[in-house]
């Protein structure tokens, strides 16, 4: 994931900062506990495509 892209994209729900989970190919919003998939290198920033993170996974 391009670090420049991470600087400008935001969570579509709360507009907060996203972090990249390289292992799971997801963008993580820690505030909303949502994980947005990255498919073929393209972030899918749709709320209905995100999975909810369990509390223990929210670091």
Q: Which two tokens stand for residue 59?
A: 């670091």
Separation CA 22–CA 15 (nearest Å): 21
Average per-residue pLDDT for the chain: 91
Summarize pLDDT for 32-49 with one digit per residue, the tens.
999 999 999 899 999 999
Torsion angles phi and psi, residue 35, rounded to 5: -120, 115
- For the domain with range 1-53, which CATH number is right: 2.20.25.10, 2.40.110.20, 3.40.1260.10, 1.10.760.10? 2.20.25.10
Q: Does residue 12 register a pLDDT over 70?
A: yes
**pLDDT at position 58, please?**
47
**What are the extents of the domains in the chain?**
1-53
Torsion angles phi and psi, residue 20, rounded to 5: -100, 130
pTM across the whole model: 0.86
- Please report, rounded to a whole number, the percentage of residues in the chain having pLDDT higher than 90: 78
- Cα 40-42-47 angle, rounded to 5 deg: 120
């Amino acid at each position: 994931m391009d670090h420049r892209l991470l600087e400008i994209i935001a969570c579509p729900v709360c507009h907060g900062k996203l972090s990249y989970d390289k292992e799971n190919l997801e963008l993580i919003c820690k505030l909303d506990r949502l994980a947005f998939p990255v498919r073929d290198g393209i972030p899918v920033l749709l709320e209905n495509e995100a999975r909810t993170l369990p509390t223990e996974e929210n670091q």
